[in-house]
Amino acid sequence: MAGRTCGLPEPGLPTRRQRQCQRIVVLVSGFGRNLQALIEHCAQGRIEADIVGVVSSRAGAPALQRAVQAGIPTRVLEPAEFAHRQDHDRALLATVRALQPDLVLLAGYMRILDVAFVEHYVGRLLNVHPSLLPRYPGLHTHRRVLAAGDAVHGATVHFVSAELDGGPAIIQGGVSVSADDDEQSLSERVMNAVELNIYPWAAAAFCRGELELRAGRVWWNGRRLDSPLQWPDLQQDRS
Ligand code: NHR
């Protein structure tokens, strides 16, 4: 199937690589730019994984079309279709469990996950958040950064915990905020210069077994991180 590399026998590749291939499920709600980058990295073998399912909280999310294009099975679970929040949350966990992921990635997923979901996937659940955490957890980060007059902004990949955008940070990268930035220009620069680089990097590292959550701390290549890894240099003027 298009976009799959891990599941197929590839002459010349060591069998070890095929055995290590991981199963990824991506949760989306929106446009799917991070999903697209993950699809491409998997297709190129730069993330040693198959994306085995994409689950959306919105039926109209353009991210779903990107998944279909890549031959990835999709599911839609709209919170509004359920009488109670708990019913939705149970259905979501059952849906993702059925896909048997080694790694679950939130990519613009807009629905807060309940404790049962987070606990089930603790250490195997990542998010990319558009701010230099611990600054600006929550929504509308670009607007808040502009309102505060900050000189730098960025994005962070973190393990997800029950505390919203509060799980241990793995890697982050910054961009300069310029005087003529608006929400649109700033969000695009953060996406292009940082998110689309650090999320595939973190997914690849996880799939190679280099990244681990142990007792609430991030370990990378056998050393405990005291602070998140920094994506190279302040990137300027890139959009
Ligand atoms: N769930 C848990 N338990 N922990 C996190 O750290 C999570 C999470 C679910 C999503 C992504 C996060 C982001 O990167 C994320 C992190 C949605 C909201 C939110 O307020 C907040 C943070 C994030 C995503 N959602 C509203 C809700 O009631 C709905 C908002 C809307 O639909 O527009 O779920 O930004």
| pLDDT tens digits along 110-123 | 999 999 999 999 99
- Class of domain 20-129+156-173+194-233 as given by CATH: alpha beta
pLDDT at 11: 56
Which of ligand 1's atoms lies nearest the C-alpha of 29? 32
Distance CA 169, CA 126 (A): 10
Q: Report the candidate in 236, 109, 118, 111 with the shortest Cα–Cα distance to residue 181.
A: 236
pLDDT at 13: 52
CA of 184 to the centre of ligand 1 (A): 20
| pLDDT tens digits along 74-89 | 999 999 999 999 999 9
3-state helix, strand, coil in the chain (%, to 5): 35, 25, 40
**Catalytic residue of the set 88, 129, 153, 158:** 129
pLDDT at 24: 98
| pLDDT tens digits along 171-217 | 999 999 999 999 999 999 999 999 999 999 999 999 999 999 999 99
Residue nearest to atom 14 of ligand 1 (CA): 129
Total Cβ atoms within 10 A of residue 183: 14
Active site residue 158: no
Q: Which residues of 47-65 are buried (b: 16+ CB within 10 A; e: fewer)?
A: bbbbbbbbbbbbeebebbe
| pLDDT tens digits along 35-52 | 999 999 999 999 999 999
User: What are the start-end ranges of the H helices in 21-76?
Assistant: 33-43, 62-69
Distance CA 169, CA 99 (A): 26
Which of ligand 1's atoms lies nearest the C-alpha of 115? 3
CA of 111 to the centre of ligand 1 (A): 5
Best residue among 110, 144, 172, 195 to mutate for probing ligand 1, ranked by most atoms within 8 Å of CB: 110
For the chain, the structural domain boundaries read: 20-129+156-173+194-233
Write down the number of H helices and E strands in the chain: 8, 11
Q: Would the CB of 115 count as within 6 Å of ligand 1?
A: no
Which of ligand 1's atoms lies nearest the C-alpha of 130? 14
Q: DSSP letter for 227, please.
A: S
DSSP, collapsed to helix, strand or coil, labels residue 61 as coil
Residues belonging to the chain: 239
Cβ(212)–Cβ(169) under 8 Å? no
CA of 154 to the centre of ligand 1 (A): 18
CA atoms within 13 A on the CB side of 90: 6
pLDDT at 1 over 60: no
Cβ(169)–Cβ(133) under 8 Å? yes
Tell me phi and psi for residue 10, to 5 degrees.
-120, 110
Q: Would the CB of 171 count as within 6 Å of ligand 1?
A: no
CA of 193 to the centre of ligand 1 (A): 23
Distances (CA, A) of 41 to 3, 34, 59, 70, 94: 9, 11, 25, 12, 27
